[in-house]
Structure 1
Amino acid sequence: MSIARLPVHSNLPYYEERVDLACAFRWTARLNMHEAVANHFSLAVDDEGRRFLMNPNQVHFSRVKASDLLLIDADDPETMNRPDAPDPTAWGLHGAIHRNCAHARCVMHVHSIHATVLASLADSRLPPIDQNSAMFFNRHVVDGLYGGLAFEEEGERCSKLLADPKVKVMVMGNHGVLVIGDSVADTFNRMYYFERAAETYIKALWTGRPLRMLSDEIAEKTARELDDYPGQAIRHLAELKAILDEQEPEYRS
């Protein structure tokens, strides 16, 4: 079926942003980085970053469509009373981040396997042992004070750990990982590479052999080079949308 024949809802507000986010949900499910009907992504759509799109409560990532996404105001105290109220932990965590961190345009939180293994270690830092892990050198923070489910109080606490705009990843100790970025493409690409880097690190630990660490100088140089690498995140998401356009184009509807 071609895209032109789909009953798309291009008159929906923020339609292209919805399509990008729906693609990210579906591809995350394909990568087995989702968890049942939990985990949440959000995307700010106003200049202040306080109105955002987010997945509806307890819909599987593999079924999310552009038209399903909720439009939420981080400053609306009645959010949890609306008939299509989001998951309370999604509101607690993502609402707090969009209220307190204007630079976090897009927020992706998952319990992906290798990032969560990393989050379960006594030392949950990701060392620069290869090019992918160097991408996160001095750009991730570890939250070692897990306080239970991310309802509003816990969400407010977590949001304060993202105050530094240089920090793009929060390893949520005993929980999972949270990634922020400028767009869906930027954030999804970073989440993808963090999981890959965590997998490499965990499997390297399995060997029991000494690790070859990059120097701080080379790790920072590599991170800066990857920060500025032209167009990769945009092309990554564009290729994923092209595949979904062929295989499950209803994600756009």
Structure 2
Amino acid sequence: MLANDPVTQARLDLAAALRSAARHGLNEGVCNHFSMAVPDREDLFIVNPYGLNWSEIVPSDLVIADFAGNVIEGRYPVEATAFYIHACIHAAKPRAAVVLHTHMPYATALTSICDGRIEMCTQNAFRYWDRIAYDETYGGLALSTAEGERICRAMGDKDILFLRNHGVLVCGPTVAQAYNDLYYLERAAMVQVLAMQTGRPLHLIDEATARQTAGLIAEDTQQAFLHFESLKRMLDRDEPGWQTSGRRRSSGE
């Protein structure tokens, strides 16, 4: 079988991530956005269109846009906040080839309480040692370049940003690595929130142990890719045609 060209592969990976996120309960209606820089282009990015549930998206639905908000390729519109958030991050952070934004429930719950943080109380949490920035200011809907730039500054040099009263952003060099971080971030948040509901204090692990464990987790450079390939196999098994199925357009499109 011939390998896909880089843009086709990017579309497949992003569609697989969106569908997997829906299967994992990380999506919300037709909102939120996943994006990826177009391979070998510094001025364009691929993003999911506005109006489609993540569970129904196929690679051909994904839109290519520029940083000015213009749709370069695609038949659907893009939600406005996707331009202002994702374009700013892609433009300012070349390492952030992939940017995932969700309102996934448990992590978002932590953004909604005073001093909400991922605490070093579970092994899954340790993989995020010193990798998360916390934006303490809710800036309203991201409908301006100024707000997108403010969010980008708040992220700084971290891979992950908790947006106060809003949701999370996860960045990475590949779809597999970014999605793996998104998935385990929600798992860490879920267990923490469940533990907090007992009313008992969290048992925090000391910084030295958390840092050491984070380093050991990071040494496994294959886990994220193996995880993502397994998700694609599940899509092939349970949702045949997800890679190529066309969509019948309604009269309103």
Q: Name the TM-score, length of structure 1 as normaliser.
A: 0.89
Q: Distance in 2 between matches of 1:15 and 1:72?
A: 15
The answer to whether structure 1 residue 231 and structure 2 residue 219 are counterparts is no
Contact residue 48 and residue 102 of structure 1 kept, 8 A:
no
Shift of 1:49: 4.2
CA RMSD of aligned residues (A): 1.9
| Equivalent runs, 1:53-202 vs 2, <5 Å | 53-74=46-67, 76=68, 78-79=70-71, 84-152=76-144, 153-164=146-157, 167-202=158-193
Corresponding residue for 1:252? 243
Flag as ranges the 4+ runs of structure 1 deviating above 2 A. 45-50, 76-80, 82-85
SS of match in other structure, 1:142: strand
Letter in 1 for 2:172: G
Shift of 1:162: 2.6
Corresponding residue for 1:33? 26
**Runs of 5+ consecutive residues of structure 2 not aligned to the other structure:** 245-253
CA displacement, residues 57-86 of structure 1 (integer Å, 9 cap, x when unaligned): 121000110111111222x35459x97431
Q: Distance in 1 between matches of 2:82 and 2:160?
A: 17
Select between 47-56 and 141-150 the one with higher mean Cα deviation: 47-56
Q: Distance in 2 between matches of 1:130 and 1:184?
A: 25
Identity of aligned pairs, percent?
A: 37
Corresponding residue for 1:7? none
SS of match in other structure, 1:145: coil
Q: Name the TM-score, length of structure 2 as normaliser.
A: 0.89
CA displacement, residues 218-242 of structure 1 (integer Å, 9 cap, x when unaligned): 1111112222213000011101101
Contact residue 103 and residue 182 of structure 1 kept, 8 A:
yes
Q: Which has the higher contact order (CA 8 A, sep 6+)?
A: 1
Letter in 2 for 1:183: T
Contact residue 132 and residue 162 of structure 2 kept, 8 A:
yes
Contact residue 134 and residue 155 of structure 2 kept, 8 A:
no
**Runs of 5+ consecutive residues of structure 1 not aligned to the other structure:** 5-9
